[in-house]
Structure 1
Amino acid sequence: MLYPDIGVGQSIPLLSSTPIKRPNKRSRLELEELEEEEEDPSGASSSMNVEEPMDSTYDPADTVTTLTEPTDVKFESSKPVHKTATYIVYENCLLQLFEQCPVCQRVTNVQKKVFGTFLSVEQRCPHCDFFRKWSSQPIIQSTPAGNLQLSVALYANGASFFKVKRIFQAMKLKMIHYTTFRVHARRYIQPAIVHSWKTAQDGMMQQLRQQKNIVLGGDMRADSPGHSAKFGSYSVMDLRNNTIIDLQLVQSNEVGGSNNMEKEGLRRSLDLLRAHGVTFDSIVTDRHPQIQKYLREANITQYYDVWHIEKGVSKKLLKIAQNKDSEKLQKWYRSIKNHIYWTAASSSSGPERVAKWTSILNHIQDMHTHDDPIFPQCLHPQRNTTDKSKWLRAGTTAFSRLEKILRNKRILKDVEKLSPHHQTSSLEAVHHVILRFVPKNVVFSFLGMLCRLYLAALHFNENAGRPQARTAAGEPLFKVVFPKYKKGQCSAKPVKVEPTFQYVDNLLELIFENVVVDPTPYMDDILKISIPEDLTSQFDKPDKQEVINSYVSRFNQGQV
């Protein structure tokens, strides 16, 4: 039945008045945030909390979602819910559509019900008994689609629920409760994330099984500095294409303390690779002593990341260069740093790296031939310098201090294992991405932490190969930056194209089209995860009231 007097789009009914079907009842937990407000014709409203399921019902067939506009924009009825455009609509503007009865044109009674971002409006005419019901969003398996979509968007993008809530409150936008967000995360989002990562990881493992000359990179990130970390996440990367192939989350009480988390994370990752039949040539890591011993006993070729060694040497050089009798070393500081990278990149064996590394001690004395037959002379062309004061002399305090650092037995042993091909700088970039999803100042559960690590890996892998952006004329785009370590000196940095977020769209599609319909198969992956006991499980839980009664402020302890 059409009502030509509705207003905009007169030949099209905005709402439907077909008989209403009663849906399945919502869970009691979801109803905790249900609000019901009734408006009388004068505009006064009253609200109350509703504990029972809404007495109004919903059926997608009862809501006509077709609306033609002067711009001839047509609604695609077959378009998925999570791909449909959404808008911010003010309440008073929306309720104007329900002020008059479309049949007798008289004032009607309006009742509205709010459930998070979901709004349902019932219009009843007391004069001609006209009735219709309108809902702001579809309902999927008794869950409003907008509420679920908001939860997925928050979680998948690594946003903070409480920060978004404050934004919504500032705009007077209706927001779901945190309890509802957690229910959505536990029932739908976390199973979908784990499934998505395992599916992507299985595909990567299948490709790696067929490849050779694989070089891995490994590094751990702790959730807090020092030795008090609760979680340690170990990342393993294929350094040839900068792709994360595995992430292991270790809780400190699993391994007897946070000092043992890195070794355990690496062990689990290597066991997973072996289980998938993946073989690799070498692995690049930092100089963690437990990692060195474990890889040595496992007969795995290990290389050290150059940056980690350069950082340690640079700190010692800066310290001795501050002394008056060693000020000349400041002129050689950058040259020695560059020499570390050149030594690693230009050498093919451990002895050659050591020979090239120690040759710098002759070079800074203006001596460019060396006793070591592996590297008998410097490769640079001979030059006559005009600054004679920069050269050091053997026997001086500055030279002796420098020689002590560069010829240190541990340094020579580490230089011998410098990585000649790939470095772990990309893993440091992964840690930067993880911070967006797992801030160190926020406490997460084990499963929550693991799912956010998987999201960070999905995001990083999708955007690892981003090309450099170009100007309209096709020129490569750069920006000028002032890195802190360069102490005021600037450098050019390539600008990458904007990142993509296809993994978020994939998660939305998986959740709305599969997980919500039948979450059981996706929960199986969650049940396979071994979740350790919380750190407080080893302690007896005291009575809360006793703890409260024993509370004494340090500023109010009475007279001594």
Structure 2
Amino acid sequence: MQCGRCEYRNKWSSQPMVRNTPAGNLQLCAAVLFAGSSFRKIYQFLNAFSVQSLSEQCYHKHQAKLLFPTIHCHWKTEQEALIKESIAGGPVTLGGDMRADSPGHSAKYGSYSMMDVKRNKILDFQLVQSNEVGNSVRMEKEGFRRCLSFLEQRGLDVQAVVTDRHTGVQKFLRDERPHITHYFDPWHMGKGIGKKRELLSKQRGLQDVGLWTKSVVNHFYWSATTATSGEEAVAKWSAVANHIQNVHTHDNALFPHCLHEPLVGERARHWLKPSTAACERLTTILLAPRFMKDIASLYCCWSAYPKYKRGEYTVRPIKTKPTLAYVDKLMTLLFDCVVEDPLLYQTTFESIPVPESLCAQFHRPEKQEAASRHRSRFF
């Protein structure tokens, strides 16, 4: 654009530039990623309004060069503060669990998270790929090992950990960290025994087992939360085998009899008859040797369960509304720091070790030769 009276020239732009990058484009990309949205959905939304937008290729370019380094830098800053807070509080109890991309033994990726149980804050998480450890079953142990080793190297005094009953994790702590007390999460154990009981109730002639679905799980949680020792928890839990048969006195000094009032009228249960298939099969599940052994190592981070209705109990999470304040912090970090010196943040982000692609094995010469020999057998 040129002035008609002088030689002034100006090039009009729909948005300001930040280091030769359109600021609006970068803000849009950042808003999509930081808010956890999907670019394709936003792109379709803008197209519906006939609003011109940037391409998906441009979005992924900004994501890789600027946005991911911003998120990584912010997380490391927050993580440093959380670790210092936990160290200042003395010995800590950590809780860990893994979430995989698919259930069963076909998982390709897993994210193991470890939190400070007392402060309810995530201190570290590790991504594990199945080909790093041989198969998906070993991913949880490796994720646990990486998280624990990292936090110990940072100076945390770990006195106990709470996990599920993964055998690999148990063996690792028993062999390499014998000084750390290992507890089991009651929710995982209650969920596991509930699944086994549900499968049992679907078998022919064992439908009566399903009548005890809620009661058995409630009794398990009650045993875990009211016991003052592992032995007492075992005593209270083992009483369920008598209770389902309408026997309420037990040969155990730690829990000699049930604490409920006599059940009469509508409160009477559908008791299981002794020596029947339903009673014997259910008792086998409830009093399995390994399950009984692990009950003594339960960890309870709550003191009671709120009443729900009809005398039953249930676990209810106490939720707080998200503030989403992290989005503003990420935006500030992006435009005040990362954009001004992108190479520094990119170098730090790209230094993260990345495992070999799961498909890389098919591109190796030895793998291709083996595959060729295999195909020659049939063609």
Q: Is the 8 A contact 1:240 1:422 kept in 2?
A: no
CA deviation after TM superposition for structure 1 residue 182, in Å: 2.3
Cα pair distance change 1:348/1:249, threshold 3 Å: same
Aligned to 1:302: 182
Aligned to 1:3: none
Highest Rg: 1 or 2?
1
Please tell me whether residue 329 in structure 1 is matched to residue 209 in structure 2.
yes
Cα pair distance change 1:212/1:376, threshold 3 Å: farther
Please tell me whether residue 508 in structure 1 is matched to residue 328 in structure 2.
no
Please tell me whether residue 249 in structure 1 is matched to residue 127 in structure 2.
yes
Alignment map for 1:399-410 (pairs within 5 Å): 399-410=279-290
Cα pair distance change 1:391/1:495, threshold 3 Å: closer
The C-alpha deviation readout for 1:139-166, integer Å capped at 9, x for no partner, is 1111111011111111212222222222
Cα pair distance change 1:308/1:497, threshold 3 Å: closer
**C-alpha separation between the residues in 2 aligned to 1:207 and 1:407?**
42
Aligned to 2:229: 349
Q: Aligned Cα RMSD in Å?
A: 2.9
* Higher RCO, Cα 8 Å, sep 6+: 2
Q: One-letter code of the match for 1:138?
A: P
The C-alpha deviation readout for 1:482-511, integer Å capped at 9, x for no partner, is xxxxxxx9x998995642211111111111
**C-alpha separation between the residues in 1 aligned to 2:57 and 2:31?**
16
Q: Is the 8 A contact 1:362 1:370 kept in 2?
A: yes
- Tell me the secondary structure at the aligned position of residue 190 of structure 1: helix
Aligned to 1:187: 65
Which of 531, 534, 537 is the matching residue for 2:360? 537
Please tell me whether residue 386 in structure 1 is matched to residue 209 in structure 2.
no
Please tell me whether residue 360 in structure 1 is matched to residue 240 in structure 2.
yes
Q: Is the 8 A contact 2:114 2:125 kept in 1?
A: yes
Cα pair distance change 1:326/1:202, threshold 3 Å: same
Point out where structure 2 has 5 or more consecutive residues left out of the alignment: 304-311, 366-379
**C-alpha separation between the residues in 1 aligned to 2:134 and 2:364?**
21
TM-score norm. by structure 2 comes to 0.84
CA deviation after TM superposition for structure 1 residue 407, in Å: 1.4
TM-score norm. by structure 1 comes to 0.58
CA deviation after TM superposition for structure 1 residue 236, in Å: 0.7
Between 1:322-331 and 1:368-377, the stretch displaced more is 322-331
**C-alpha separation between the residues in 1 aligned to 2:263 and 2:338?**
73
Cα pair distance change 1:498/1:529, threshold 3 Å: same
Please tell me whether residue 376 in structure 1 is matched to residue 256 in structure 2.
yes
Alignment map for 1:398-477 (pairs within 5 Å): 398-421=278-301
Which of 191, 210, 213 is the matching residue for 1:311? 191
**C-alpha separation between the residues in 1 aligned to 2:12 and 2:53?**
20
Which of 320, 327, 343 is the matching residue for 1:520? 343
Task: Give the number of aligned pairs.
Answer: 354
CA deviation after TM superposition for structure 1 residue 195, in Å: 0.7
**C-alpha separation between the residues in 2 aligned to 1:183 and 1:288?**
40
CA deviation after TM superposition for structure 1 residue 226, in Å: 3.3
Higher helix share: 2
Point out where structure 1 has 5 or more consecutive residues left out of the alignment: 1-121, 424-488, 543-560
CA deviation after TM superposition for structure 1 residue 327, in Å: 4.3
**C-alpha separation between the residues in 2 aligned to 1:513 and 1:389?**
67
Between 1:410-419 and 1:313-322, the stretch displaced more is 313-322
**C-alpha separation between the residues in 1 aligned to 2:165 and 2:270?**
33
Q: Is the 8 A contact 2:105 2:137 kept in 1?
A: yes
